[in-house]
Homo-oligomer: A and B are copies of this chain.
Amino acid sequence: MPRILIVDDEPDLCEILQFNLDLAGYQTEIAASAEEALTLLQPDHDLILLDIMLGGMSGWDLARTLRKERNLNIPILFLTAKTTEADLLKSFSVGGDDFITKPFSLPEVLARIRACLRRTAAPQAPMPSTSQLITLDGLQLDPDRGVAMINGARLNLSPKEWGILALLLSRPGCVFSREDILHQVWHGESCVLDRTVDVHIARLRRKLGPMGARLINRQGHGYCLE
């Protein structure tokens, strides 16, 4: 039973959604604000229905935060009264998966939810988001909190750096081609030169300090951590 988090500050609307989603066989929770959503969100949630205009943090901010800082990959469907093209583009640019304008038809919402879940349900474990703490010698990653530490000292990594490190650390010793890395970390978002990976690797090496020497290139194959 897929689990859906509804984030909206209109209680009536939330109830209608919840009623119909429950009817359709989903398990639902309601958050009245982005802040509440952050505390309610569980690792096993499968999808978020998100309003944009909320008191405090906006839906866009929440989406960006989830994607970037929590490295969360579940679908986010924006449900909003904002209807301009700029609103739509912004919603997709912060990592949204769909954009439905109010007033909406419930069957449409259900259809779009189903379409999204069909895409994401198939591959069970796309990222190492399952495990708690990935560790290699003095280096440790906490995927849930998006924190990387080296001998207890916290590293300040950019999202891409974090993604690359998490990927390499998920299978130490294994070689990942630049293509692999682009696929996994950039999530296939269009066209980036593969040499870009090199640059990020270099930046990672520097931040890793002595451990950077263990981020190795296998000529003609790719990069690995060992």
A residues sitting closer than 8 Å to B (CB atoms) are 1-2, 24-25, 73, 75, 85, 88-89, 92-93, 96-98, 105, 107-108, 111-112, 114-127, 129, 131, 144-147, 158-159, 162, 171, 173-175, 179-180, 183-184, 187-191, 218-222, 224
Q: Could you tell me if B188 and A122 are in contact, using CB atoms closer than 8 angstroms?
A: yes
Q: Could you tell me if A174 and B144 are in contact, using CB atoms closer than 8 angstroms?
A: yes
Q: Could you tell me if A191 and B1 are in contact, using CB atoms closer than 8 angstroms?
A: yes
Instruction: State the copy count for this chain.
Output: 2
Q: Could you tell me if B120 and A107 are in contact, using CB atoms closer than 8 angstroms?
A: no
Give Cα distance in the complex from A191 to B153, angstroms: 39
Extra A-B contacts (4), CB below 8 Å, given A114-B189, A122-B183: A75-B119, A89-B108, A117-B189, A145-B174
User: Within 8 Å CB of A188, what residues of B?
Assistant: 2, 117-118, 120-122, 124
Contact of A85 among B93, B108, B129 (CB under 8 A): B108
Q: Could you tell me if A159 and B219 are in contact, using CB atoms closer than 8 angstroms?
A: yes
Q: Could you tell me if B92 and A112 are in contact, using CB atoms closer than 8 angstroms?
A: yes
Query: 24 A-B residue contacts at CB 8 Å?
Result: A2-B190, A88-B111, A89-B111, A92-B111, A93-B111, A98-B115, A114-B189, A114-B190, A117-B188, A118-B187, A118-B188, A119-B119, A121-B183, A121-B188, A124-B183, A124-B188, A125-B183, A129-B171, A146-B175, A146-B218, A158-B219, A158-B220, A159-B219, A162-B220
